Chain A
Amino acid sequence: MQGLIDVFANLLGTGPTLSMVLAYFVCIHSLIGFITIYAMFAIWMERKVAAHIQVRLGPMETGGWHGWAQSPADALKLLFKEDLIPAGANKFLFWIAPALVFCGVFTGFIVVPFAEGIQIVDLELGVFFIVAIASVEVIGVIMAGWSSNSKYSLFGAVREAAQVVSYELPSATALLPPVLIVGSLTLGDFNTFQAEHGWLILHNPFMPIAALIFFISSLAGCKRAPFDLPEAESELVSGFHTEYSGMRFSFFGLEEFVSMFLVSAVTATLFFGGYTLPFDLLSIGAAPDVSLFDWLSGHAELGQVDILGSLTHLAGPAVFIVKVFVFIFIQMWLRWTLPRLRVDQVMVLGYKFLLPWALFTVVGTALFEGLGWGWCSHS
């Protein structure tokens, strides 16, 4: 971030405030662009994965090659659809709910570390920030269901409210073991620690359990099957977004895929080494001593720029996104494998299974760390 501010200050000769505004503007908008393109790809991928699991083909016509243009075409269609507000709906809440839902997950993205320094802000409370900001989405969902003036929407919202307690506890608790090991909540620290000591999932025998618990409860966090109770299309039409249409509806769809990316990014960063590879190859993702930004911001000559270092630095986001997509694929795979749980089964899973085991991993990790034991690659 600071690098980008310096670049603007140097190239445009703007003052510190204007440079900062410009830098944030560029960052946020490139993030929005990335999210939009990612979501379109993910929707296409979801349809393809679903189709092939059911021995179908999925979209094949639009755009030629395997229907790649299906999602942009759908997005265009949704833009032109009429924006309906049901009679008797609370107009203000109905209007603001999709924005709140989307902003909740979108804000989480500002701390996602794509590579060392390729991150909008590295908050000191990064992990806590993501967990907290992702919960804002729940308020939007309940708002949407409540304001729709429809019994199906309200059922969906109430289910979300009931579900949120049972998955937020284990998901936040399962994030504690990695935090205990690294001793920091800053997401950047997780990457530097894992670049040095190896992936946290292999750090002690409790970490795979913690990773599994976080993965399962993050599925519920994204409202994805088998925890898609608030949507439950076979029971509640479409749950909390039954009454939505057009662009407002697409925000809920976008939110689902964006939060899939967010929780997968957290899983990848906290348990699977972030942008680092399991073997030390050219220290991928690590920032070079003298980067292109340093030249652009006038801190260094062009000749001093570490070209190879810059290239391996830019390979970091690629590695990170590949890891994230592995988790997104597993989420899709699970969605088309497992049937939806009942409300009480979600509660039982959350309170009787996930939460005790998450606490068990916290205690176990604390013991391991306290006694100075390591499982593998611990120095």
Chain B
Amino acid sequence: MGSVRDYFASIGNGLGSAVKGMGVTLRHLTQEDTITLLYPHERREMPPTYRGLHILEQDKCIDCGLCAKACPVDCIEIEAEHHGRVLEWAKFTIDYKKCIFCELCIPPCPVKCIHMTSEYELATDSPDTMAEDLLTWTGLRREDQEKLEGKAKPKPAAPAASGGGGDLQSRVAAMLAKKKAEKGED
């Protein structure tokens, strides 16, 4: 500092670096693609191994309870009445307040009926609805009811009381179909 040469050099440096910086910002300003994802309108493609909300293929499930036993945080609750091989469903819930998305519930399943989807929207209106009901029906299905005929007092089939709202259910159903299609290709 101090010399006349430094003084003029610093003017050149200052102006030069400002102009250079403005060149950089102008390039970004005019660049077409941005990094912003307009989230509710656009969604990021999740990787196939992403661990999101669960789905259950209820017609395959045998109510063995291995997934619930494997769960390190005890967030899965299963309840069904066995009529021989026919199941009368009462409950299959996953409490997402507890769930740590570790995927340990998936491998023990002997019939491969529980899966994790890439669905990541977990928000609900209240903590009471955080326990997601995975059942697509409760009680007995009509064909099961006909099979049993008089053996037990059959309860009428009712649609599942869904925990998260129809929108999520339909999305999960679509995802299940997609996953099945992928498996078919394999």
Measured CB to CB, the residues of A under 8 A from B are 49, 51-57, 60, 333-334, 336-338, 352-353
Contacts and interface: CB of A to CB of B under 8 A. Distances in A.
17 contacts: A49-B29, A52-B28, A53-B28, A53-B29, A55-B31, A56-B35, A56-B36, A333-B22, A333-B25, A333-B29, A334-B18, A334-B22, A337-B22, A337-B25, A338-B18, A338-B21, A353-B11
A344 to B, nearest CB: 13
Given A55-B31, A353-B11, A337 B24 contact: yes
B36 A337 contact: no
Contact of B35 (A55, A337, A338): A55
B22 A52 contact: no
Nearest to A348: B10
B26 interface: yes
A51 B29 CA distance: 8
Interface centre among B22, B25, B35 (most CB of A within 10 A): B25
Contacts of B123: none
Contacts, number: 40
Nearest to A335: B25
A11 B28 CA distance: 55
Nearest to B17: A338
Contacts of A336: 25
Interface of B: 7, 11, 14, 18, 21-22, 24-26, 28-29, 31, 34-36, 38
Nearest to B19: A337
A337 B38 CA distance: 25
A324 to B, nearest CB: 19
Contacts of B31: 52, 55
Contacts of B7: 352
A333 B35 contact: no
Given A337-B21, A338-B21, A57 B28 contact: no
A317 B132 CA distance: 63
A334 B38 CA distance: 27
Contact of A55 (B14, B26, B28): B28
B18 A57 contact: no
Contacts of A55: 28, 31, 34-36
Nearest to B27: A53
A353 B29 CA distance: 30
Contacts of B34: 51-52, 55-57
Contacts of B21: 337-338
A53 B25 contact: yes
Ranked 7 nearest A-B pairs via Cβ: A57-B36, A337-B25, A337-B21, A53-B25, A52-B29, A53-B29, A56-B36
Contacts of A56: 34-36
Contacts of B24: 337
Contacts of B18: 334, 337-338
Given A52-B29, A56-B36, A353-B14, 14 more contacts: A51-B36, A52-B28, A53-B29, A54-B28, A55-B28, A55-B34, A55-B36, A56-B34, A60-B38, A333-B25, A333-B26, A334-B18, A337-B21, A353-B11
A352 B11 CA distance: 11
Contacts of A57: 34, 36, 38
Contacts of A49: 29
Nearest to A334: B22
Contacts of B22: 333-334, 337
Contacts of A60: 38
Interface centre among A53, A54, A353 (most CB of B within 10 A): A53
A53 B25 CA distance: 5
A352 B14 CA distance: 13
Contacts of A337: 18, 21-22, 24-25
A69 B63 CA distance: 55
B168 to A, nearest CB: 23
Contacts of B11: 353
A336 B24 CA distance: 11
A57 B22 CA distance: 19
Nearest to A58: B36
A255 to B, nearest CB: 25
A49 B28 CA distance: 10
A336 B22 CA distance: 9
A37 B18 CA distance: 31
A118 B87 CA distance: 86
Nearest to B30: A52
Nearest to A48: B29
B36 to A, nearest CB: 4
A333 B24 CA distance: 11
A247 to B, nearest CB: 31
A333 B28 CA distance: 11
A51 B34 CA distance: 9
A340 to B, nearest CB: 13
A60 B26 CA distance: 21
